């Protein structure tokens, strides 16, 4: 299982960052750190990949549509650039070609059948609410803002991993993702930069592009985990460092959203002239999203859309 340590390292760096009057020192510090995600010869999720959504707790129809539209946008052409699909196309540079995500099943669990305080074992149980009959499938568990999860807001905003199917020998090995809504629990940790950070420089937060700090924060973490999952589904794909705490396709680029980004500053992004919302990607149905940088195998560098 590979947790997202979203901003812990980022905020720690902020305490030792040079002042803004010494950008050369900061640039030199960053350049000294080589970033190479090694391929460990394992299977990746390529071709058509089924995505099943398990909604745990109460989400409004609008909130659900924002997330579903995001997943649809990953493989949908948009005339408006930069686009969500152009961000996702970077995953094609990893061995095996494209990963075409298709939303298939959605399960609504609004009665909190497992309570409002979940352990990792509960997340695994929820991920099995939809049977994975194909190897290329991802079950995504999304927990509502009033659901506490072990480690949530402490050292992770989401996780991804894999499980063996329940059909015995020969059953498909599926993958799963969990992402929590941090709106009321830790928006400064899991929904940054749409909320002031818990630590580090207290710069003004960006305006969330869909008007929902919690959901727009979930988009950042879901985007991270989807890219990490298709490029390292079974912990033997692309990553740097130990397999128990890997830096993956997007988690290797934490906190970078636009050019000129550095710890505590998301970078230069686009701003909607009407709403003042910050974004860097156009999606379907006129949606806008803020997506993190992704490691590009061709350049061995974190690539932002703007």
What is the tens place of the pLDDT at every residue in 231-283?
999 999 999 999 999 999 999 999 999 999 998 999 999 999 999 999 999 99
pLDDT of amino acid 19 = 29
Q: Which residues of 6-24 are buried (b: 16+ CB within 10 A; e: fewer)?
A: bbbebbebbeebeeeeeee
pLDDT of amino acid 154 = 94
- Cβ 254 vs Cβ 262: under 8 Å: no
* Residue 167's pLDDT band (cuts 50, 70, 90): very low
What is the tens place of the pLDDT at every residue in 152-166?
999 999 999 998 654
* Residue 27's pLDDT band (cuts 50, 70, 90): very low
Q: Is the pLDDT of residue 289 over 80?
A: yes
* Residue 136's pLDDT band (cuts 50, 70, 90): confident
Distance CA(69)–CA(63), nearest Å, equals: 10
Distance CA(135)–CA(50), nearest Å, equals: 9
pTM: 0.89
pLDDT of amino acid 171 = 44
Distance CA(222)–CA(190), nearest Å, equals: 11
Determine what percent of the chain is predicted with pLDDT higher than 70: 85
Tokens read off for 55: 């909604």
pLDDT greater at residue 133 or residue 187: 187
Q: 105-111 long-range CB contacts below 8 Å, 24 or more apart? A: 105/52, 105/53, 105/130, 106/52, 106/53, 106/54, 106/55, 106/64, 106/68, 107/52, 107/53, 107/54, 107/55, 108/55, 109/54, 109/55, 109/56, 109/57, 110/55, 110/57, 110/58
Distance CA(13)–CA(29), nearest Å, equals: 11
The chain-wide mean pLDDT, for the chain, equals 88
What is the tens place of the pLDDT at every residue in 40-99?
999 999 999 999 999 999 999 999 999 999 999 999 998 999 999 999 999 999 999 999
Q: Is the pLDDT of residue 18 over 90?
A: no
């Amino acid at each position: 299982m590979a947790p997202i340590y979203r901003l812990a390292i980022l905020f720690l760096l902020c305490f030792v960052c040079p002042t803004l009057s010494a950008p050369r020192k900061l640039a030199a510090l960053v350049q000294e750190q080589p970033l190479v995600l090694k391929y460990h010869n394992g299977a990746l999720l390529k071709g058509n990949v089924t995505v099943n959504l398990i909604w745990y707790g109460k989400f409004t129809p609008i909130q659900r549509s924002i997330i579903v539209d995001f997943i649809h946008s990953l493989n949908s052409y948009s005339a408006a650039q930069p686009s969500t699909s152009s961000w996702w196309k970077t995953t094609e540079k990893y061995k095996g070609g494209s990963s075409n995500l298709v939303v298939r099943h959605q399960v609504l669990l609004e009665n909190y059948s497992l309570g409002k305080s979940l352990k990792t074992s509960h997340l695994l149980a929820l991920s099995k609410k939809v049977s994975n009959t194909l190897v290329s499938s991802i079950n995504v568990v999304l927990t509502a803002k009033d659901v506490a999860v072990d480690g949530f807001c402490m050292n992770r905003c989401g996780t991804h991993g894999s499980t063996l199917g329940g059909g015995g020998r020969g059953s498909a090995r599926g993958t799963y993702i969990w992402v929590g809504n941090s709106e009321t629990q830790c928006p400064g940790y899991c929904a940054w930069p749409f909320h002031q950070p818990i630590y580090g420089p207290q710069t003004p937060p960006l305006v969330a592009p869909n008007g929902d700090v919690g959901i727009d924060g979930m988009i950042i973490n879901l985007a991270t985990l989807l890219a990490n999952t298709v490029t390292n589904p079974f912990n033997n794909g692309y990553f740097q460092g130990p397999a128990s705490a890997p830096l993956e396709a997007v988690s290797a680029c934490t906190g970078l959203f636009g050019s000129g980004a550095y710890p505590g500053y998301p970078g230069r992004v686009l701003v909607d002239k009407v709403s003042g919302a910050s974004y860097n990607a156009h999606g379907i149905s006129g949606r806008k999203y803020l997506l993190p940088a992704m490691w590009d195998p061709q350049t061995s560098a974190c690539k932002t859309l703007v």
